[in-house]
Amino acid sequence: MKTERQYPSVILTERGKRRRETRHPWVYDNEIESTAEGIVDGELVDVMTSGGKYAGTGFYNSNSKIRVRIISNNANDKFDEAFWERRIRYAIDYRMTVMKEGDINCCRLIFGEADEIPGLTVDRFDDILVAQVLSLGIDKIKGMIFEILYMEMNARGEKVIGVYERNDVAIRKLEGLEEYKGYYKLDGIDIPEKTVATITENGIKYDVDVVNGQKTGFFLDQKYNREAISRIARGKRVLDCFTHTGSFALNAAKGGAAHVHAVDVSELAVNMAERNAEINGLGDIMSFEAADVFDLLPNLKSGEYDFIILDPPAFTKSRQTFENAKRGYKEINYRAMKALPRGGYLATCSCSHFMDEVSFMKMLESAAKDAGVRIKQIEKRQQAPDHPILMNVSETDYLKFFILQIF
């Protein structure tokens, strides 16, 4: 018997039905057999099987290959303000539980699908929340969500002065949305003038430029990986490649490295890294260089560094560019392995979902073989727990991080 629902419905194909049985929150355009008339992009739809069985409710968008983003599998849910308050409280409670004491001051509060708020990222940098809205459905209700976040954080004694939107990303075009950035006007709250937040992570202070910094201004997912390398760095000569604003380099220096050289292709990033070193009183044992890592690594002298850190940007954001990305990852890891002495250390990672862990490990094995070395795994790590991984949603499991010894 078919179930009557309150929202317009889309009917799944058999393939779509099988995927929904895994509880993956995305329904693709080719997984829909038919749609009801009058569906409005960005509004809620009920997802049904051809037999009339309820399979979830989500935001519909005909502009996107991800045709429906599921927000609930509960047929009894009412999607009012109270529903979103519960979601947000649950997300904040989770961070308060899993993060170390004090780390809620700089962490990811909302991680999209992993928090069942699809297409929304919210990072906290001291008293500024920085948001990226990447789905039309959430964009339509973002005002309500931002108000709830603001009220909830301040009610907990976690001071927040505003929400800055970093919606200057091309992926919004796939949802039919415009690109822009700026503070969201919260009801009754003056728009802040503040554009740089000062945070403390692992005992190190950083100035975070929420307006011009990459993505939301700072990469929070490596928080505890940076802490892990500080132990290895003690007494070592360290090269930090793709340093961005110097976070791995600063953790190495604070950990007692003999010297740290930080390199990034962006002069703006290098200047900020140098400033962060000065803020933390670490400038005397650090040096900085604006250079292309692909040019720098082949020219290293063997044994020049005891410890090399490779934290590149995502070399691939699609399956189509996977092979080129794999060659890029292999090149930098091969060069680092060649340059390190016997007993040297390598920290290496990939932040691309498409470079899965098995492929990444095979790439490392191939690079070691070509470099004529063997590698010993010390640690295998992932993203910090404020970026939770849903076991049935592989897209949330993206960061691979290895600490290795070369011998």
Catalytic sites, residue numbers: 351
CA 147-150-151 angle, to 5 degrees, is 85
Q: Say how many CA atoms lie within 13 Å of 120 toward its Cβ.
A: 27
Please enumerate in sequence order all residues whose Cβ is within 8 A of that of 251, keeping only pairs 6 or more positions apart, or say none.
Answer: 202, 204, 226, 227, 229, 230, 233
Question: β-strands 180-183, 9-12: how paired?
Answer: unpaired
**Other CB atoms within 10 A of residue 4 CB:** 8
Q: What is the largest CA-CA distance in the chain?
A: 74
Please enumerate in sequence order all residues whose Cβ is within 8 A of that of 389, keeping only pairs 6 or more positions apart, or say none.
Answer: 114, 382, 383, 396, 397
Closest CA to 89 of 149, 8, 48: 149
CB < 8 Å & 24+ apart, contacts of 169-175 = 169/132, 169/134, 171/134, 172/133, 172/134, 174/63, 174/64, 174/65, 175/61, 175/63, 175/64, 175/119, 175/134, 175/135, 175/136, 175/139
DSSP 317-337: SSGGGHHHHHHHHHHHHHHHH
Q: Amino acid identity of 141?
A: I
What stretches of 112-186 show up as alpha helix (H) in DSSP? 136-155
**Other CB atoms within 10 A of residue 296 CB:** 17
Which residues are bridge partners to 163 per DSSP?
129
Task: Please state, in angstroms and rounded to a whole number, the distance separating the CA atoms of residues 256 and 260.
Answer: 10
Task: Please state, in angstroms and rounded to a whole number, the distance separating the CA atoms of residues 311 and 244.
Answer: 9
Strand, coil or helix: what is 71?
A: strand
**Other CB atoms within 10 A of residue 309 CB:** 29
Residues 254/281, Cβ–Cβ less than 8 Å: no
**Other CB atoms within 10 A of residue 37 CB:** 5
